[in-house]
Amino acid sequence: MSERTGELAIETTGLVKVFGDKRAVDGIDLRVPAGTVYGVLGPNGAGKTTAVRVLATLLRPDGGEARVFGHDVVKEADTVRGRVSLTGQYASVDEDLTGTENLVLLARLLGHRKPAAYDRAARLLEAFGLTEAAGKQAKNYSGGMRRRLDIAASILNTPDLLFLDEPTTGLDPRSRNQVWDIVRAVVAQGTTVLLTTQYLDEADQLAGRIAVIDNGRVIAEGTPGQLKSSVGSGSVHVRLRDAHLRPEAQRVLSEVMKTAVQLDHDPVALTARIMPEGGATGPAELASRALGELAARGITVDDFSLGQPSLDEVFLALTEKTQQQPARQQEKQEAVA
């Protein structure tokens, strides 16, 4: 990999973009090291696409600063444009053209001569598993094939920085995996990738660092591991034999584990998040102590698992914090105590 020491592909300070009275991007600070995959994670309307469009010089910021490889996105927009490429959230291929025609047309627009354009198109179609579909019109492609064609189009010229805006939204697991492989291959060639996603596992799989954004602001930033450990070191999931013993099990678990215990939809199931401030006791020890205590009270456990917190749990915990503030968390803790 080519993480050039210290070089930043993207640096923003207090970046703002306003639509009417909506602050779509509301003071975002980002530092994206060159040569890495950086994940921008957030729900619908968080401001992901807006931020990407500002960075790709397609929208003018209303406040703050943004630099791409040290170049200001407003004052040096042309230089920035020469180094970036964007795959939008909505596929931009021409429906009536075939895979080959789409890529050749774009390659020609980028200045490649005809033989070179055909050559590049054929190589990319092969790399993306589209050789068989090369002669078919894009309107007959599946969602996954179209996404792959779209990404192929954005790397006809190897960009220094590639924006992928929700590249796998709506794809089935197999197509998602194919796109992930493509992203890894692109990065291995030295391109920096800024990837927006609503899927936490996607950011977890691909990104070295992640910014979680909500309402136009960064609410957390770090490596996937850091984000996970900021909300707890894991969770214990228990299924009881008797549903009527669940309230007592909830009390026991929250006492032993000193954490909120959540009642799942399944009437015999409970989940407890293990908090890092739970002392020096490791998750496994804490969990076995909790199980011992349940057994001692005659509560039979049919099934038990100990897992790392998923990034989904991290995201919920983070957005809960920003929306409800600590008072609500406290309330919850008290409700089960």
The correct pick among 5, 6, 44, 280 for binding ligand ATP (CB under 6 A) is: 44
| Binding flag, residue 21, ligand ATP (CB under 6 A) | no
- Give me the DSSP letters along 274-287: EPTTS-S--HHHHH
- Backbone phi, then psi, for 327, in 5-degree steps? -50, -45
Among all chains, which residue has been given the structure tokens 């009881």?
240
Query: What Å distances lie between residue 266 and 237, 240, 301, 337, CA to CA?
Result: 12, 10, 14, 21
**Which residue, 28 or 134, has its beta carbon nearer to ligand ATP?**
28
- Only one of the segments 1-9, 17-25, 101-109, 184-192 lies at the binding site for ligand ATP (rule: CB under 6 A); that segment is 17-25
- Only one of the segments 44-52, 121-129, 220-228, 278-286 lies at the binding site for ligand ATP (rule: CB under 6 A); that segment is 44-52
**Which residue, 21 or 277, has its beta carbon nearer to ligand ATP?**
21
Smallest gap from Cβ 88 to Mg ion, in A, equals: 9
In 3D space, the residue among 241, 81, 87, 96 whose CA is nearest the CA of residue 151 turns out to be 87
Report the alpha-carbon distance of residue 193 to residue 175 in Å, rounded.
Answer: 19
| Binding flag, residue 49, ligand ATP (CB under 6 A) | yes
| Binding flag, residue 45, ligand ATP (CB under 6 A) | yes
**Which residue, 25 or 249, has its beta carbon nearer to Mg ion?**
25
- Give me the DSSP letters along 1-54: ----TT-EEEEEEEEEEEETTEEEEEEEEEEEETTSEEEEE--TTSSHHHHHHH
| Binding flag, residue 99, ligand ATP (CB under 6 A) | no
Of residues 167 through 186, those in contact with ligand ATP by CB under 6 A are: none
CA dihedral 198, 200, 205, 210 (to 10 degrees): 80
Angle at 127 between CA 91 and CA 52, to 5 degrees: 35
The correct pick among 9, 24, 200, 212 for binding ligand ATP (CB under 6 A) is: 24
The DSSP 8-state label assigned to residue 309 in this structure reads P
Report the alpha-carbon distance of residue 90 to residue 70 in Å, rounded.
Answer: 29
The correct pick among 7, 19, 181, 303 for binding ligand ATP (CB under 6 A) is: 19
Partner from ligand ATP, Mg ion, none contacting 237, C-beta within 5 to 8 A by type: none
The correct pick among 28, 34, 46, 183 for binding ligand ATP (CB under 6 A) is: 46
Report the alpha-carbon distance of residue 164 to residue 203 in Å, rounded.
Answer: 12
The correct pick among 22, 184, 241, 289 for binding ligand ATP (CB under 6 A) is: 22
Are residues 226 and 210 in contact, defined by beta-carbon separation less than 8 angstroms? Answer: no
Partner from Mg ion, ligand ATP, none contacting 47, C-beta within 5 to 8 A by type: ligand ATP
| Binding flag, residue 39, ligand ATP (CB under 6 A) | no
User: Given the rule CB under 5 A, which residues bind Mg ion?
Assistant: 48-49, 89
- The footprint of ligand ATP (CB under 6 A) covers 19, 22, 24, 42, 44-50, 89, 198
